[in-house]
Amino acid sequence: MRFQTPLIPATLLRRYKRFLADARLEDGREITAHVANPGSMLGLKDPGLKIWLEPNDDPKRKLKYAWRLVEHESGAFTGVDTGVPNRMLRVALEAGAVPGLEGYGAVRPEVKYGEKSRIDFLLLEEGRPDAYVEVKSVTLSRRPGLAEFPDSVTARGAKHLAELAAMVRAGHRAVMLYLVQRTDCSEVTLAADLDPAYARAFAEATAAGVEVLAFDCGISPEGVSLGRALPFRAP
């Protein structure tokens, strides 16, 4: 998935009110950018970080910039837009290019299920159990090479795991897919210390038959692509 508009570099000044960030452009101007990430963004919101913004000239948008990437001192990138994984994965799923999820003729996004929830993707193919696929964007890394989810307490995430387990009990296939939006990690685990309830919900869901897949991303200021499968380490 390529970004619609070429990204421009900036320096982060502060992130606030969940969906706003102030940044300084290379020409010295200070601007406010939209942040498409409701999470804590632990480790990704320190003032002085180099970030990449996507400008727009849409008159319907109040803010003319959107924060897309963090570029770390190592040269690695982290994608901060939580909407990117689903847009990218939809294309890959429809092309049958996601290992472990090939062979489904229909890909339906945002289908209602469970208790007032929507599954990210429902995969359908005659003669096969329906596959319910929940996607989580992973951006936290507190140890070199190790990505962790979540970066804060997520009651909603625990609810999704319980609903996936219910789909398995109803005879369907259910998959928890962790998409690591970082280029510096080689395995994934749970941040059980940050959200013990989510870790317990995960253990219960996997015991019920919920499958776990994890992938990293190719990330650059040009765009984001599905990367390699990563090993998942249980906490």
Same-domain check for residues 110 and 27: no
pLDDT band at 85 (very low <50, low <70, confident <90, very high): confident
- Any domain includes 200: yes
The CA distances from residue 110 to 107, 145, 167, 213, in Å, are 10, 32, 16, 19
- What is the Cα–Cα distance from 206 to 161, expressed in whole angstroms? 9
Which pLDDT score is estimated for 18?
87
pTM: 0.94
The two structure tokens encoding residue 175: 């998959």
Is residue 25's pLDDT more than 90?
yes
- The domain containing residue 103 runs over which residues? 84-229
When divided into structural domains, the chain yields a total of 2
Residue that terminates a domain, selected from 53, 79, 105: 79
Same-domain check for residues 92 and 29: no
Same-domain check for residues 155 and 224: yes
pLDDT tens-digit readout, 109-148: 999 998 888 999 999 999 999 999 999 999 999 999 999 9
For strand 65-71 and strand 211-220, is the pairing parallel, antiparallel, or unpaired?
A: unpaired
> Which residues have CB under 8 Å from 141's CB, separation 6+?
43, 147, 148, 182, 184, 185
Same-domain check for residues 119 and 136: yes
Taking alpha carbons only, the member of 116, 106, 229, 100 closest to residue 175 is 100
- Any domain includes 2: no
